Amino acid sequence: MKHHDTATKNATPETRVSIEPEWVLASKYQELTGTTPNAVHQRRKEGVWLDGTHCAVIARRLYVNVKEADKWIRNQVSQRQRAY
């Protein structure tokens, strides 16, 4: 009688779950984009980025909405292209 390896026969492929959060801490945003938390604060201060849309301060921690920040960047790029 031949031995069958049931462990490999019944094994399922590894499933990787990718989570893309909408809001990240400013320090993580800096890791992803190079934009410092000070630059985010400056954009808030100047009214360029709006609290609750592009960024938020919760429990004294600065968060960035990655999707909205990306939209803002795309808008800046398209405005510059139109200016030329």
**Residue 20 structure tokens:** 């893309």
28-43 average pLDDT score: 97
Q: Quick one: pLDDT at residue 27?
A: 98
Model-wide pTM > 0.75:
no
Judge whether 53 and 64 are in contact, CB under 8 Å. no
Pick the more confident residue, 4 or 83: 83
Question: What fold characterizes domain 20-83?
Answer: Multidrug-efflux Transporter Regulator; Chain: A; Domain 2 (1.10.1660)
**Tens digit of each residue's pLDDT (9 = 90 or more) over 48-75:** 999 999 999 999 999 999 999 999 999 9
Q: Is the pLDDT of residue 30 over 90?
A: yes
Question: What kind and span of H or E run contains 63?
Answer: strand 61-65
Residue whose pair of structure tokens reads 């019944």 in the numeric block: 10
